[in-house]
Amino acid sequence: MKHSELKKLKFRAVSIETIHFFFVIVILAGCAFNSTVESAIGQETHTNKLVIYTDRGKETISRNIYGHFSEHLGRCVYEGFWVGEDSPIPNTRGIRNDVVEALKKIKIPVLRWPGGCFADEYHWKEGIGPRQNRPAMLNTHWGMVKETNAFGTHEFLDLCEQLDCDAYIAGNVGSGTVEEMQDWVEYMTFDGDSDMANLRRANGRDKPWRVKYFGVGNENWGCGGNMTAEYYSDLYNRFQTYVRSYSGNRIVKVACGPGSVNYHWMTVVMERCHQRMDAISLHHYVRGSGDWTIKGSATKFDEKEWFALMKNTLTIYPLLKDNIEIMDKIDPQGRVDLFVDEWGTWWDAEPGTNPAFLYQQNTLRDAVSCGIFLNAFNKHCRRVKMANIAQTNNVLQAMILTKGEKMILTPTYHVFEMYKVHQDATLLQVDLDCGDYKFGDEKVPSFDVSSSKDKSGKIHISLCNLDPSNPTDVSCKLLGTEPANVSGRVLTADDMTAHNTFDEPETIKPAVFSDFSLNGDMLAVKLPAKSVVVLEIK
Q: What's domain 63-423's architecture?
A: Alpha-Beta Barrel (3.20)
Amino acid 286: pLDDT: 97
Amino acid 289: pLDDT: 85
The pLDDT > 90 percentage for the chain reads 89
Query: Do residues 376 and 320 make contact, with C-beta atoms less than 8 angstroms apart?
Result: yes
Amino acid 13: pLDDT: 39
Residue range(s) occupied by CATH 2.60.40.1180 in the chain? 46-57+429-537
CATH number corresponding to 46-57+429-537 = 2.60.40.1180
Low-confidence residues in the chain, pLDDT < 70: 1-46
Residue type, 424: D
Residue range(s) occupied by CATH 3.20.20.80 in the chain? 63-423
Using a 10 angstrom Cβ sphere, with 0-12 exposed, 13-18 middle and 19 or more buried, the burial of residue 44 is exposed
Query: Do residues 190 and 197 make contact, with C-beta atoms less than 8 angstroms apart?
Result: yes
Q: What is the distance, to the nearest Å, from the Cα of residue 184 to the centroid of all Cα atoms in its chain? A: 30
Using a 10 angstrom Cβ sphere, with 0-12 exposed, 13-18 middle and 19 or more buried, the burial of residue 420 is middle
Catalytic residues, by residue number, are 219, 342
Amino acid 303: pLDDT: 97
Read off the pTM: 0.90
Helix-helix angle 364-379:303-313, to 10 degrees:
20
The neighbour count for residue 510, using CB atoms within 10 Å, is 18
Residue among 251, 78, 88, 69 nearest 152 (CA): 78
Amino acid 45: pLDDT: 52
Amino acid 276: pLDDT: 98
